[in-house]
Amino acid sequence: MIRLEKVRKTYDGQKNIVDDLDFEIRKGELVVLVGESGCGKTTTMKMINRLIEPDGGDIFINGKSIKSFNKNELRRNIGYVIQDIGLFPHLTVRKNVSIVPLLCKKDKAEVDRSVEDLLRLVNLPPEEYADRYPGELSGGQQQRVGFARALANDPDIILMDEPFSALDPITREQLQNELLSLQEELHKTIVFVTHDIDEAIKLGDRIAVMSEGRIIQFDAPEEILKNPVNSFVESFVGKDRLWKKPEFLKAEDVMNTKVVTIGQNRSVAHAIELMKMHNTDVLVVVDKPTESSGKILGVVGTNRFKGVGDNTIKMKDIMKSDFPRISKDMCLVDVLKIRKSSDTLYSPVMDENGRVAGIITNASIISVLTKYIPDREDY
């Protein structure tokens, strides 16, 4: 949908505020540009609708260079939401929202209906708010009007420049939640600028962490939290942030991949020898005794041997077969809930075909989570 190729911008003819940017934003994706003040994130966003002209490189929308568009035509088809909102104080809410589609010569009756639908969409009932003036609204209500105005011409792309940063924390969280709900429904391509990494993590499908005009890492929020590419990203994100966001950890992040499997028809005697050989106290029982093809049938821990006097008894007769089914991409929060409710010590993890992928134990969880616990001096 949006592609930047070697885009460059300088203000003094010497230092690039945006330096050879190459990245792509997919259709229907909410991408957040985040970084410290002066890193080039707002300049990057404003070059997409030519509020700022690049000094080098090119930007493409649906494969077409923005240089080939008339500026006004380009901007009328890209919604724009800013921190200062920019509503016309002498116009009612209805007229503020309808101004762009009317400029595009759309039918007035159709525009009026659309405005009322948009106001409902942003939780401003038109019978109550359409004929008010901006000065009669709270900051959060004004920003809702600003978002409705950005949607009024049904653009494919919406640019949002720190739209919530001037709002109080409660209103800001409400509008963040509403934006996520609207995006679930509308699937617009959104470029969102913020300096707040918490906001970026909450909103972004992908996050571009910027510094000195360059993108240091462009990735999904969970990847940036789990695998920062360098010390700058780690410091900017915060070493302990993943500890505060356990929902980004998956079962595959905390499982032990060194799983010892055993066939369902093998004996207790064989199981004991296998445990000794591999220094483990748990075996995963599979239909075929190979890690690559075996589907999980059950789990055998040393506790299953208690009271078994016959070492020739087979695994299928003593294994725990009613274990919770955990997939590799299950959220860690859900994994912990399942393990607690089922009182399970050993949780095998399966791939999409039901084959063994790993096993979760208390030790494997603690081993991973300790990497994200803040150091003592951080308190």
Mean pLDDT of 260-284: 91
Structural domain contains residue 333: yes
Out of 246, 262, 285, pick the residue that ends a domain: 246
Assigned domain for 57 exists = yes
Q: Are residues 212 and 265 in the same domain?
A: no
Per-residue pLDDT tens digits for 16-72: 899 989 999 999 999 999 999 889 999 999 999 999 999 999 999 999 999 999 888
Residue 373 lies in a domain: no
Q: What is the mean pLDDT of the chain?
A: 87
Both 237 and 291 in one domain: the answer is no
Any domain includes 375: no
Cα dihedral across residues 42, 43, 48, 49: positive or negative: positive
- Both 242 and 260 in a single domain? no
Specify the DSSP element, H or E, that contains 190: strand 189-194
- Work out the pLDDT band at 378, boundaries 50, 70, 90: very low
Torsions phi, psi of 9, nearest 5? Answer: -145, 130
Residue 324 DSSP one-character state: P
CA angle 14, 20, 24 (to 5 degrees): 150
Question: Do 201 and 305 share a domain, yes or no?
Answer: no
Decide if 108 contacts 97 (C-beta within 8 A). no
174 and 91 in a common domain: yes
Picking from 218, 189, 216, 221, the residue whose alpha carbon sits closest to that of residue 204 is: 221
- Whether residue 155 sits in one domain with residue 58: yes
Long-range contacts of 361-364 (CB under 8 A, 24+ apart): 361/256, 361/282, 364/254, 364/255, 364/256
Quick one: 94 and 210 in the same domain?
yes
Residues 240 and 341 grouped into a single domain: no
Domain for residue 59, yes or no? yes
Of 80-89, 320-329, 370-379, which gets the smallest average pLDDT? Answer: 370-379
State the DSSP code for 354.
S
- Of 246, 264, 283, the one marking the end of a domain is 246
Into how many domains does the chain fold?
2
Do 315 and 207 fall into the same domain?
Answer: no
Whether the predicted pLDDT of 128 surpasses 80: yes
**CATH at 270:** 3.10.580.10
347: which 2 tokens? 């949780």
Average pLDDT over residues 152-171: 89
> Which residues touch 111 (CB under 8 Å, ≥6 apart)?
98, 101, 102, 152
263 in the same domain as 241:
no
Is 130 contained in some domain? Answer: yes
Domain assignment present for residue 121? The answer is yes
In terms of domains, do 261 and 210 share one? no
82 has a pLDDT exceeding 60: yes
What's the pTM value of the predicted model, to 2 decimals? 0.74
Among 205, 231, 246, identify where a domain stops.
246
* 64 and 182 share one domain: yes
Q: Does residue 291 or residue 154 have the better pLDDT?
A: 154
**Residues facing residue 296 across a β-bridge:** 286
- Give residue-wise pLDDT tens across range 311-331: 888 999 999 888 888 999 898
Tell me what percent of the residues of the chain surpass a pLDDT of 70: 94
| Three-class DSSP labels, the chain | CEEEEEEEEECCCCCEEEEEEEEEECCCCEEEEEECCCCCHHHHHHHHCCCCCCCEEEEEECCEEHHHCCHHHHHHCEEEEECCCCCCCCCCHHHHHHHHHHHCCCCHHHHHHHHHHHHHHCCCCHHHHCCCCHHHCCHHHHHHHHHHHHHCCCCCEEEEECCCCCCCHHHHHHHHHHHHHHHHHHCCEEEEEECCHHHHHHHCCEEEEEECCEEEEEECHHHHHHCCCCHHHHHHHCCCHHHHCHHHCEHHHHCECCCCEEECCCEHHHHHHHHHHHCCCEEEEECCCCCCCCEEEEEEEHHHHCCCCCCCCEHHHHCECCCCCEECCCEHHHHHHHHHHHCCCCEEEECCCCEEEEEECHHHHHHHHCCCCCCHHHC
Q: How many CA atoms lie within 13 A of 240 on its CB side?
A: 8
On whether residue 312 sits in a domain, the answer given is yes
At 379 the pLDDT is 42
Q: Three-state SS for 351?
A: coil
In angstroms, what CA-CA distances link 80 with 48, 104, 167, 200, 270? Answer: 11, 16, 18, 18, 68
**Which structural domain, as residue segments, surrounds residue 106?**
2-246
Between strands 214-219 and 206-211, the pairing is: antiparallel
Return the CATH number at 49: 3.40.50.300
Asked if 204 and 221 count as a contact pair (C-beta separation under 8 A), the reply is yes
Q: Please give the structure tokens belonging to residue 349.
A: 């993890």
- Determine the Cα–Cα distance for residues 18 and 24; give it in Å rounded to an integer: 16
